[in-house]
Amino acid sequence: MNKLKRKDVLKYMNCKNLWLLFITLLIVCTLGGCGGSNIDKNITITKKPVKVAKINNKLKKESQKESKIRQEVKNYLQKNKLSGSVAIVRGNHILFNEGVGYADIDKKVLNQPSTTFPIGSITKSFVATSIMKLQEQGKLNIQDPISKYIPTFPDGKNINLYHFLTHTSGIQRLRWHPGDTTPLKLIQEIEKMGLKYPPGSRWDYLDTNYIVLGYVLEKVTGMDLNNFIQTNIFDKVPMKDSGFITPDHPVSYTSVGYLLNGDNYTPTKYLNTYALFGCGSIYSTALDVAQYDQALMNGRLTSKSILKQIITPSSKSTYGLGLYNDITNVYSVGVLGGWYTMHAYYPTDKTSIVVLLNERGNSINIKSIVSDIHQITESSHH
């Protein structure tokens, strides 16, 4: 009996020891697992600051590049004693947006990013884009003859809308005279003069072509041309600081334009607002025009196929539909009184450069200015 009890006791003790050993191993494994988890967490924690540091360094370098661009552009504008406003936009990012010189010399008002300028013939791009939006909507076709919209137009069956868009219509320059007028009266004046060249035979840049297109747009849509551009372009980009020069608001912009003759500045006191219909009636800021370029070139205003047509030159020049295309960039230039303007879009780096000057003279070459500014941004970009 004692022996049996002893065996039972030993058996009991062995079982108990095994159980304790099992519990101990379980605890060790559990603690080991937790320790492993802590180690993993520690590894993760040490990795995060490295990633953040790399991102911060990259952002710091980008910021330094942009600061360098801004300073170099500012130095360039001041060195050349320019007066106006300049905007540089790459994609959705504003690299530069500043005014330089005086918006009004007599009143000592400085040009600001918010200063508005008549943009002259840059307006034609907005009109051409509007016409192409109507084609996209099936409301017209640029291969339609002008006789479809203006039956009395001379040789109208042989001139199509495309000819007007590309300045190859062959029509003559409009002779301006003071006094009130309407788009219809302008068209009647153009009709009286007949053709200078056979349609499509040569390139002859005339504001008259876009006056005709503005009239056609109003006839097709039943809308005022300015209202159409406001609704379909300004509101969509958006261009919140842009508007129109009209007989009711002839000085709706905030800068004075100056013609330079040596050291003498002659202010532009009067613009014939009727002559601006369809070809030069828009005023804007440099940033608004740059935002328009980005919206147009990145497919926010038209389809890719329509955009391709807009930027494809005719066989007679480097001019497409409202825009020149010299392969490296797409651009247009505005000359109006004492204002001299240009916008250019560079596809390689998706950069828009807009220079709006409220001074014009023989010593100023706006194409060279835009090219120089792009070189500054390009060298800092790479």
Domain residue ranges in the chain = 82-381
Rounded distance between C-alpha atoms, residue 33 and residue 30, angstroms: 5
Burial of 362 (0-12, 13-18, 19+ CB in 10 A): exposed
Evaluate whether 315 touches 347 at the Cβ level (below 8 Å). Answer: no
324: helix, coil or strand?
A: strand
pLDDT digits 0-9 by tens, 240-264: 999 999 999 999 999 999 999 988 9
Rounded distance between C-alpha atoms, residue 218 and residue 228, angstroms: 9
> Looking at the predicted structure, is the pLDDT value of residue 188 above 50?
yes
Give, for 373, the enclosing helix (H) or strand (E). Answer: helix 366-381
Evaluate whether 89 touches 291 at the Cβ level (below 8 Å). Answer: yes
Rounded distance between C-alpha atoms, residue 153 and residue 104, angstroms: 44
At 152, give phi and psi (nearest 5°): -90, 0
Fold of the CATH domain 82-381 = Beta-lactamase (3.40.710)
SS (H, E, C) 63-110: HHHHHHHHHHHHHHHHHCCCCEEEEEEECCEEEEEEEECEEECCCCEE
Dmax over CA atoms of the chain, in Å, equals 139
pLDDT digits 0-9 by tens, 32-83: 444 444 434 444 444 556 666 666 665 666 788 899 999 999 999 999 999 9
Record the pTM.
0.84
Strand boundaries in the chain, DSSP class E: 84-90, 93-100, 102-104, 109-110, 117-118, 243-244, 258-261, 264-267, 282-284, 324-325, 330-336, 339-346, 351-357, 359-360
Rounded distance between C-alpha atoms, residue 204 and residue 163, angstroms: 10
Percentage of the chain surpassing pLDDT 70? 83
